[in-house]
Amino acid sequence: MKRKNVRILEYNTIFTPEEEGGYSVSVPDLPGCFSQGETFEEAQKNIAEAIELYLEDADKELYYQTPDASRKEFVVPVSIQIHA
């Protein structure tokens, strides 16, 4: 029996709490890949499914993100002053 190669990919996601409840989620490395959920766990499950669907039609090398590469990225808030 021939074994399929399995690659583990990992993407950073951004969870945004919604005013009406639940979360919206985006994947900065995958333009247009969004999802949502009523709870954090549901949103996490839904975005994993959205990523899988996104990658089915994507260029296999363009969106290849290893866990090590993903963990080197991070989000930092930057404050600026705007003079009106």
- The total number of structural domains in the chain stands at 1
Query: Which residue range(s) make up the domain with 51?
Result: 14-68
The model's pTM is 0.75
Q: What is the pLDDT of residues 40-72, one digit of tens each?
A: 999 999 999 999 999 888 877 677 777 787 777
Amino acid at the residue 3 = R
**Does residue 8 belong to any structural domain of this protein?**
no
44, with CB counted inside 10 A (0-12, 13-18, 19+), is middle
Structure tokens at 6: 């399995």
